[in-house]
Amino acid sequence: MAAPDKRIVLVTGATGGLGTAMCRKLHDDGYIVVANYRSEEKAKKWQEKLHNEGHDIKIYYGDVADYDSCGQMIEKITNDIGHVDVLVNNAGITKDGAFRKMTYENWRAVLSTNLDSVFNCTRHVINPMIDAGFGRIINISSVNGQRGQFGQANYSAAKAGMHGFTKTLAMEVANKGITVNTISPGYIGTDMVMAVKEEIRNQIIAQIPLGRLGGTEEVAYLVSFLASEHANFITGANLSINGGQHVY
C-alpha cells in the first residue's frame, strides 16, 4: 500500500505528448503516478524510456471507452497500490470532418473516448474519494470546446460536455473535500502538432497573441497545481491555457 503522505494519481491517455509531460511533472512533485494505456507494446517502451530518465511510472491497461474495463483497471490499481486520490481525465482522440459528411461511427468514437471516458473513470473513483475526504478530478478539455472549430462537431461537443460534467460534479462533492476542475489547452507543441505542415502550423501560430505554441510542461504544471493542497479553493472552474487565442 502507498505511504499516507504519497497521493496516487491516475492519468488516462498517458502515453501521448501531454500525458507524458503530466506524468513526469507529477512524479517529480512526489506523487505515485499510474499511467493508463491501451497498447501494451507502446506502453512498455514508454515506461522503459521514462524509467531511464529516473521516472518510476506504473502502467495499467484499461479501455476508457468501456465502463467495465475502467472498473477492472481501477480495482486492480486499488488492490496493488491503493485508492486513486487524483484522477486526470486526459484520454482523447480526433476524427475530424465537416458535419454534413460525418459518420455516426466517427461521432460515437470521439464521444465515447473523450466524454464517456470521463464518466467511466470518475464513477469508479468518486466514492472512495468521498470516503477518504479528499480527491481531485482534473478534466482535460480544449479551446475548441469553448469556441468551436470547423470540422470538429464531435470533438467540440465532447470537450464542451466535459466542463458541463465538471460544474455539476463540483457542486455535488464540494463539501466532501473533493475538487473538480477543467483545463482547456489551446494549441500545444506536441508531436502531433509539430507533424503538421510548417505553413499550416505557422497559420495557427499567427492566431495566437503570444506568438507561439504552448509547451506540454506548461499544461503539466497547471495539472500538478490543481492536484495540490494549494488549489483547495478552486472547484468547478475551467482554466484556459491558450496564449490568448480565445478570451471571454
Q: At what angle do helices 153-173 and 117-132 cross, to 10 degrees?
A: 10
Task: Please state the φ and ψ torsions of residue 182, each to the nearest 5 degrees.
Answer: -115, 145
Residues 6 or more apart whose CB falls under 8 angstroms from that of 213 comprise 187, 188, 189, 193, 201, 204, 205, 243
Q: Which of 49, 47, 44 is nearest to 33 (CA)?
A: 47
155 is an active site residue: yes
Q: Are strands 8-11 and 86-89 parallel, antiparallel or unpaired?
A: parallel
Question: Rounded to an integer, what distance in angstroms lies between the CA atom of residue 65 and that of residue 158?
Answer: 13
Q: What is the DSSP letter of 208?
A: -
Three-class SS state of 183: strand
Catalytic residue among 31, 37, 60, 155: 155
Question: Rounded to an integer, what distance in angstroms lies between the CA atom of residue 173 and that of residue 168?
Answer: 9
Q: Are strands 135-140 and 238-241 parallel, antiparallel or unpaired?
A: unpaired
Q: Is 148 left (phi over 0), alpha (psi -120 to 50) or beta?
A: left
Q: Which residues are catalytic?
A: 155
